[in-house]
Amino acid sequence: EWLPWVEGNLDEVPKDKDKRKEFLRKSFIGYMSASPEQKKGLEKWYGKAKASKFKYAESFEVCEYGRQPSDEEIRTLFPMLKK
């Protein structure tokens, strides 16, 4: 719900709940569509078969300045990434 405020189009958001959901879905679906880079990462962590089923993804990037966690440490931080 904060995206329209950030984008500067808060005044365009409908008051009706169902219309508001549709507005947000149409307006911001591009933010969530999996990019080729995200799909590559999904394949690494979930396997090609499972990754091909994803429609949307939110990415997190390890900062290049600092310690780089190993894959095992990342699995500890994100336990849903099973081996």
Q: Are 32 and 54 in contact (CB under 8 A)?
A: no
Per-residue pLDDT averaged across 2-19, rounded? 85
**Looking at the whole model, is its pTM more than 0.85?**
no
Per-residue pLDDT averaged across 5-23, rounded? 87
Single-letter amino acid, residue 73: E
Instruction: Give, in order, the Cα–Cα distances in Å from 15 to each of 9, 45, 75.
Output: 13, 40, 41
Q: What are 39-81's pLDDT values in tens digits?
A: 899 999 999 999 888 877 778 888 899 999 999 999 999 898 8
- The token duo for 20 is 């508001």
The helix/strand/coil state of 56 is strand
